[in-house]
Amino acid sequence: MNKPGTHTGFGMTSQRTRTRMIERLREQGIVDEEVLAAIAAVPRHVFVEEALASRAYEDTALPLGYSQTISQPYVVARMIEALRAGRELGRTLEVGAGCGYQAAVLAQLTKEVYAVERIAPLLDRARLNLRAIKELKVRLKHADGQLGLPEAAPFDSIIVAAAAARVPRALLQQLAPHGRLILPLGAATQQLALIEFRPEGFVETRLDAVRFVPLLSGVE
């Protein structure tokens, strides 16, 4: 297991490699330059196992252990871009902090980031990783993500890094008026769903096909 913050500059973790990743995201259709700048600012290799650091800037999900993965950069960019679209993120909740990577990207874009993770050893790793890059704005909690984080609600933006069969009711209840929630829905076939809390109620828009680990209840 890697010691957070100890990776050194392999060729594959160089600035040139990181720049290529951003160029690839542009080619794939990501147009929000602030999202691209946020992803460019976060050293993804710090958040993966040392043995996988040479693959950190490939556009692929990578294993974290505990049957979890770090999301591929395109999916991170796509979800955050959809949440932002024409507005600021505001107070943001991430469900499924994992290794802390996506929370670090979110923290480049808003001052209030809360992240919950149900697997205690992963939460500890996220805390160490965020400390290693001196990202101290993210507030982490060991909790069941399906229940959200009621003590910090309401949220302007909620991003879920695991697939649910249906939108957890608790997350809808914690969404602020005019807020947005994005998550993968489905089992064998999954699709990103963007839910907006409009004056007339919740409005859902389906986006890209994706593949995420399932959203589970309880804590470990």
Residue 71 falls in the annotated catalytic set: yes
Please give the DSSP secondary-structure letter assigned to residue 214: B
Q: How far is CA 204 from the centre of its chain?
A: 20
**Which residue in 67, 71, 157, 217 is the catalytic one?**
71
Please give the DSSP secondary-structure letter assigned to residue 203: E
Q: Where are the beta strands (DSSP E) in 35-174?
A: 62-65, 68-70, 92-95, 113-117, 138-142, 155-160
Peptide bond into 214 cis (omega under 30): no
Q: Is 141 exposed, middle or buried (0-12, 13-18, 19+ CB in 10 A)?
A: middle
Main-chain dihedrals φ then ψ at residue 134, nearest 5 degrees: 60, 35
- Taking the CA atoms of residue 125, residue 170, residue 185 and residue 183 in that order, the dihedral angle to the nearest 10 degrees is -50
Question: 87 Cβ partners below 8 Å, 6+ apart?
Answer: none
Please give the Cα distance from 134 to 53 (Å, whole number). Answer: 19
Which sequence positions are flagged as catalytic? 71
